[in-house]
A and B are shown apart, each in its own frame.
Chain A
């Protein structure tokens, strides 16, 4: 890919890729690093886009996802990046604002549940698109997504309107 083509792709998809990387890593610094690696990979042979296999957005999110997992592995962030049950502790609604509590709860999900939830909930991917992105069966993705939502239902329960949520925080 030429620099001029990269520039066009970058301009159109940078916010989506950065947003995904930010939600996955929970860090602005890491998101920027990963995002840079993702786009610069297009200049070499490391990542080649094939329009028959999906959209640019799906492709870039897939590359970003792989870079995030690679980073986690190299940092030894998780004992294992495999499917496992991991219960997220309920958040404390008095400590922070809603958006921060949601970020905290999503960030506490096991990695594969987290990516499935972020792709479905925030990127609007279909089950099939998620399955292609994470290289898993649709059924597996469905199960991860179910577990992730189940986990968050409990973890974020203190934010329910009936539980006295700080509504001022959610309306900003």
Chain B
């Protein structure tokens, strides 16, 4: 096939038009200037060095396992019935109120 000449090539290349910058780019570049900190709270990122992250994770695991065992926190044990005696001689006394005499 015959290659394009200069004029044809220029004409064909001009058919490819790039789109205009999208509105989202405005928001990303200049839109964020007025509301910095809460935008960062929602969309911000922080970089943590891997050794630091690994140490923090390890510390969390150790605290989670060892700390849990030593705390002794758990469900309440059953109350002991030791020292509990039945009443052997029950002597009920009825106290009447004064209004019953009237």
Contacts and interface: CB of A to CB of B under 8 A. Distances in A.
A159 B9 CA distance: 9
B1 A22 contact: no
Contact of A157 (B2, B28, B33): B2
Contacts of A40: 29
Nearest to A6: B30
Nearest to B6: A149
B62 to A, nearest CB: 36
Interface in A108-125: 121-122
Contacts of B18: 18-20, 22-23, 122
Interface residues of A, number: 41
Given A10-B30, A153-B9, 16 more contacts: A3-B33, A6-B29, A7-B33, A14-B25, A17-B21, A32-B28, A36-B28, A98-B15, A122-B13, A149-B6, A152-B13, A154-B1, A159-B4, A159-B12, A160-B8, A170-B15
Majority secondary structure of chain A interface residues (helix, strand, loop or mixed)? helix
A10 B29 contact: yes
Interface string A3-27: 1001100110011011110110000
Contacts of B25: 14, 18, 32, 35-36
B77 interface: no
Cβ-closest 6 pairs across A and B: A19-B18, A18-B21, A153-B3, A102-B16, A14-B21, A157-B1
Interface in A156-170: 156-163, 169-170
A160 B30 contact: no
Interface in A82-141: 90, 98-99, 102-103, 106, 121-122
A154 B8 contact: no
Interface in B35-75: none
B3 A98 contact: no
B20 interface: yes
15 contacts: A11-B30, A19-B21, A22-B18, A23-B16, A36-B29, A98-B16, A99-B17, A102-B13, A106-B13, A122-B18, A152-B9, A153-B3, A153-B9, A159-B4, A163-B1
